[in-house]
Structure 1
Amino acid sequence: MTAAAGLRFQGHAALFDRVDRAGDVFRAGAFAGAGIVPLLWQHRGAPAGTLRAVAEDARGLWVEGVVTDPDAARLVRGGALPGLSVGFRTVRARQGAWRELLAVVLIEVSLVATPMQPGARIERVDDDFQQEK
């Protein structure tokens, strides 16, 4: 990858109506108004790239981004970082059998080896995508 290149990806960083490993369930509308946030690697450190789009769809929180960190890009390309995860602050929740997250503030999206929601995954990778200037 050149300095101007990156590894473009798309996927779902969170899924609606699925219990995660912590007992949380995101409900549709929880991410309403979410915008571009930092793209991290394992929820810490310097950004591993940038997000270009963040939006709710029928399935969950869909994101598109470009991984510019060469080590992270290598791991994503090789399948060692297949998951996506979100860092958030709870605004409104309902407690029942699980904690239902009704409104959250999205803080960051991370490339992760093991996502909190098993189905939150990178779904498409386009190698050597040239970033727009």
Structure 2
Amino acid sequence: MGVHIAQDVTPDGTFSGYASLFEVPDLGGDIIQRGAFAASLGRRGAGRVRMLWQHDAAQPLGQWLDIREDARGLRVRGKLNLAVQRARELQALMAQKAVDGLSIGFHAVRASRDGRNGLRRLLHVDLWEISLVTFPMQPAARVMDTRGDRALEQGLLASIRRMSGALQGAASG
């Protein structure tokens, strides 16, 4: 079973991936709990969550067709608006695997902080936008081929190793 990151970008600009993963610390020390997006998605739906480039509100790229929580995280399917020059550029970069990151823009409605390790657990978030990015805060949040999960597993392991190293450094320092 092969994995082809960003190979899922179709000629019409449709792609899918994970914008966020549950129970995995990101590089900023946040952990998203399962169910954290449910209320926001129930109110807003996929069509009203913006698709941006690098979280820049002046650079919309297209539309999210489907956003849903599954066992792993926030699964997304979107379509680039190929009438927009930047979207055409990104389609080419995604096909080349030069850009494959996804990142969420949100407001933390309810969160708690773990006093032992300093991580913030996001319990309820208001999801505003999901961006295509060069470097995602959640390393495994990627445009990915649905035929395989190896890239997701590798991203998860890399994220866990980085957070583990940071926590060990904080505990010993």
Asked whether the two chains share a fold, i.e. TM above 0.5, the reply is yes
Q: Give the alignment of 1:1-133 within 5 angstroms.
A: 6-33=12-39, 34=41, 35-36=45-46, 37-44=49-56, 45-68=58-81, 69-96=87-114, 97=117, 98-124=119-145
Q: Secondary structure at the match of 1:6?
A: coil
Length, aligned pairs only: 121
Kindly report structure 1 stretches of 4+ aligned residues shifted beyond 2 Å. none
Between Structure 1 and Structure 2, the one with more strand by share is 1
Where does the alignment leave 5 or more consecutive residues of structure 1 unmatched? 126-133
Where does the alignment leave 5 or more consecutive residues of structure 2 unmatched? 1-10, 82-86, 147-173
Paired AA for residue 103 in structure 1? H
Normalised TM-score (structure 1)? 0.86
Bigger radius of gyration, 1 or 2?
2
Between Structure 1 and Structure 2, the one with more helix by share is 2
Between the aligned partners of 2:125 and 2:92, the Cα distance in structure 1 is 31
Between the aligned partners of 2:62 and 2:129, the Cα distance in structure 1 is 12
- Percent identity over paired residues: 44
